[in-house]
Structure 1
Amino acid sequence: MAANDYRGYLRNHTAMENGEARLHTAHGTHRPLLFGTLAVMGLLQVASSVTVLLHLTGYLQEVNLSSAEPVQETHSEHMMADALRDEKKREKPRKKNDQLPKAHLPIKAPIDFSSTDPNSITTVYWDETRGTHTKVQYHDGRLLVEEKGWYYVYAKTCFRYAPDHATRKQDVSNVQLLQYIYHEIHTQPSKSRPALLSKSGGTLQWGNQNYNLYCVQQGRSAFLNKHDGIYVSVSNSWMLDPEPEGTYFGVFKMSK
């Protein structure tokens, strides 16, 4: 019995040695793989740390922006070029037939109105050569429209009197300076009176100052048919200022 226990002890001792030997062999086999894994993890940690550091310093951001800018600029240039081409297409110059009717004429000088009658109303004549008009004709002091529609009509007349330079001595202590805008309807008989569109002016008491000036300006909308005419008349026309900046007449179409 004791011999059997001794042999069991020896057998167990041998098995334990064999087991330890196999354990040492297994550890010896996996040790290089373990070291390699640790080395790779260390390298990844170092790379991650370097990447974070570069982001914090802004280096990578600058590199990304510098590499992305040329693409973005090229894309923007193409968009701007396309927009400019579209704008040029939309801004094609109007043909003459497409232009809106309009006219602006300064007063015709020199002025030679012989009447000094304060009750006399005289039609003003305008300088076609110094003015502009498109699809509106000028004849005998009148603007004649070529298209019917709603127009804005305007006129400005300036009156001045300087006793020392006047060709005629006139009492201007109580003088009326009036401006009228008339509408001649083309279809009405020639003997019919034109329609009065607007009237403006005032009564002046100038006295004997060296220089006296008074201006009347008015404007309004009116519906004009084709070939209708408009013109301006004033009282005391002999006092009209011949400067084109002070006395002028015009019209432009607003809508159909």
Structure 2
Amino acid sequence: MAANYCRGYLRNHMDMENGQARSHPAQSPHRTLVFGVLALLALLQVASTVTILLHLTGYLREVDMSSVQPAEEVHSEPIIADALRDPQIKERWRKRDATPVAHLSVRTPIDFSSTDPTVVTTVHWDELRSTLIKFKYHNGRLLMEEQGLYYVYAKTCFRYAADHVSNRQDVSNAQLIQYIYHEINSQSKFGPVLLSKSGGTLQWSHRNYHMYCVQQGRSVRLRKSDSLFVNVSNSWLLDPEPEGTYFGAFKMSN
């Protein structure tokens, strides 16, 4: 009887151990699931941290802007093209970043009524055949739109042809002088400042064709709304060809 009890005890003890051994595999899937969830949460935490850092550095903003830029360009090009068909808008775009430049040719026909050699006349220029970028023109004067250091130049040609009826004047002692003036807007009450003059006295005959040209230039610092103009003596002898008589300026620096 004692032997039977011992065998029963041993059997029960072995069954319990076998039962516990069989129960271990049932717990391993739960542990795997737990570890998987923890690993996924860790990856999400890392991803969110990296995303925040990229936003703080501006990298993602640059990527987003670069990704939409082609679409913006596709839509904006037709709008710009349509706008530039307007002559006024096109002119503003052309002058927006351009260097100030002016070149004027003599205006024809020239008034030859005054032949007094002592009279000095302001030359008038052909605005329709001119180049005016960040300059304006009014009554023989170039008006500054932008201050800076400019180079100013002028060329005037005088000619006399004996076969021209209106030219039958005394040219035996013709004084042909060119003057370039700077009119300061803030000091207009003091009158214009003479920048330079050049020329000479010519002794021409009445039976031949004569021509004489004066060309000069210099740098000058100009302010906005200042003006430049050219005066000449014996303006009735001016050559009306635009290649011979012209006036201009261009900006060299600030």
TM-score after normalising by structure 1: 0.61
| Contact in 1 for aligned 2:161/2:167 (Cα 8 Å) | no
1:162 equivalenced with 2:171 (yes/no): no
Which structure would you say has the larger Rg? 1
- The answer for the alignment partner of 2:191 in structure 1 is 193
1:110-189 equivalent positions in 2, closer than 5 A: 110-189=109-188
How big is the shift at 1:209? Answer: 3.8
Please, which moves more after superposition, 122-131 or 109-118?
109-118
1:201-216 equivalent positions in 2, closer than 5 A: 201-216=199-214
- CA deviation vs aligned residue, 1:52-94 (integer Å, no higher than 9, x gap): xxxxxxxxxxxxxxxxxxxxxxxxxxxxxxxxxxxxxxxxxx8
| Contact in 1 for aligned 2:161/2:210 (Cα 8 Å) | yes
Specify the code of the residue in structure 1 equivalent to 2:130.
Answer: G
- The answer for the alignment partner of 2:251 in structure 1 is 253
- CA deviation vs aligned residue, 1:222-250 (integer Å, no higher than 9, x gap): 00000100000000000000000000000
| Contact in 1 for aligned 2:121/2:231 (Cα 8 Å) | yes
Please, which moves more after superposition, 160-169 or 235-244?
160-169
What SS is found at the alignment partner of 1:187? helix
- The answer for the alignment partner of 1:234 in structure 2 is 232
How big is the shift at 1:163? Answer: 1.5
Separation (CA, whole Å) in 1 of partners of 2:97 and 2:203: 49
| Contact in 1 for aligned 2:105/2:129 (Cα 8 Å) | yes
- The answer for the alignment partner of 2:218 in structure 1 is 220
1:1-20 equivalent positions in 2, closer than 5 A: none
TM-score after normalising by structure 2: 0.62
Identity in percent: 67
Specify the code of the residue in structure 2 equivalent to 1:212.
Answer: H
What SS is found at the alignment partner of 2:166? coil
Cα gap change, 1:216 to 1:232, in 2 (>3 Å): same
Cα gap change, 1:249 to 1:174, in 2 (>3 Å): same
What SS is found at the alignment partner of 2:96? helix
Separation (CA, whole Å) in 2 of partners of 1:95 and 1:108: 26
1:104 equivalenced with 2:111 (yes/no): no
Cα gap change, 1:166 to 1:214, in 2 (>3 Å): farther
What SS is found at the alignment partner of 2:200? strand
Separation (CA, whole Å) in 2 of partners of 1:165 and 1:174: 19
Cα gap change, 1:165 to 1:113, in 2 (>3 Å): closer
Q: How many aligned residue pairs are there?
A: 162
- CA deviation vs aligned residue, 1:8-62 (integer Å, no higher than 9, x gap): xxxxxxxxxxxxxxxxxxxxxxxxxxxxxxxxxxxxxxxxxxxxxxxxxxxxxxx
| Contact in 1 for aligned 2:105/2:130 (Cα 8 Å) | yes
**Superposition CA RMSD, Å:** 1.2
How big is the shift at 1:95? Answer: 4.9
Separation (CA, whole Å) in 2 of partners of 1:166 and 1:219: 34
| Contact in 1 for aligned 2:199/2:214 (Cα 8 Å) | yes
How big is the shift at 1:165? Answer: 1.2
Separation (CA, whole Å) in 1 of partners of 2:187 and 2:249: 21
Unaligned ranges ≥5, structure 2 = 1-92
Specify the code of the residue in structure 1 equivalent to 2:180.
Answer: I
Separation (CA, whole Å) in 2 of partners of 1:213 and 1:207: 12
Separation (CA, whole Å) in 1 of partners of 2:207 and 2:241: 21
Specify the code of the residue in structure 1 equivalent to 2:169.
Answer: Q
- The answer for the alignment partner of 2:81 in structure 1 is none
Specify the code of the residue in structure 2 equivalent to 1:117.
Answer: D
